[in-house]
């Protein structure tokens, strides 16, 4: 049904309607993981990643915090990026 709606929108308006292509939040997450993997491959440290993601001021303030939440978040991203590069991307391709 969605394919037919897209075809009709293209025929009527000469373009695809934005409402017929909703954003997928998994895509944004995949883009972040790709960027993290690229940075790690180029030799970036976890602190470098944190600076790029949340800004240097936040890293200066929170990196040594006893709660360790910022460092844990960055470590999780790095782990997930490595897992994706080792074959986890296939799950993204098989998703419906």
In a domain? residue 50: yes
- Asked whether the predicted pLDDT for residue 96 surpasses 70, the reply is no
**pLDDT tens-place string over residues 27-55:** 888 889 999 999 999 999 999 999 999 99
- Residue 51 forms part of a structural domain: yes
pLDDT in the model for residue 14: 83
Examine residue 2 and state whether it is found in any structural domain, yes or no. Answer: no
Choose the weakest-confidence range: 9-13, 71-75, 92-96: 92-96
Domain that holds residue 83: 23-94
Residue 1 falls inside a structural domain: no
Calculate the alpha carbon distances from 36 to 20, 59, 88 in Å: 30, 16, 14
For residue 6, being part of any structural domain is answered with: no
Average pLDDT over residues 57-82: 91
Residue 12 lies in a domain: no
Q: Looking at the 3D structure of the chain, how many domains does it have?
A: 1
Three-state DSSP state, 44: coil
- What's the predicted TM-score (pTM) here? 0.67
Q: What is the DSSP letter of 24?
A: -
CA angle centred on 69, ends 65 and 71, rounded to 5°: 85
């Amino acid at each position: 049904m969605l394919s037919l709606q897209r075809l009709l929108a293209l025929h009527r308006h000469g373009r695809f309607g934005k409402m017929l292509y909703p954003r997928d939040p998994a895509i944004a997450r995949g883009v972040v993981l790709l960027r993290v993997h690229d940075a790690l491959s180029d030799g970036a440290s976890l602190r470098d990643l944190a600076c790029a993601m949340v800004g240097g001021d936040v890293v200066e303030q929170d990196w040594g915090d006893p709660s360790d939440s910022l460092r844990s978040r960055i470590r999780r991203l790095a782990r997930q990026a490595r897992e994706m590069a080792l074959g986890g991307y296939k799950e993204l391709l098989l998703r419906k």
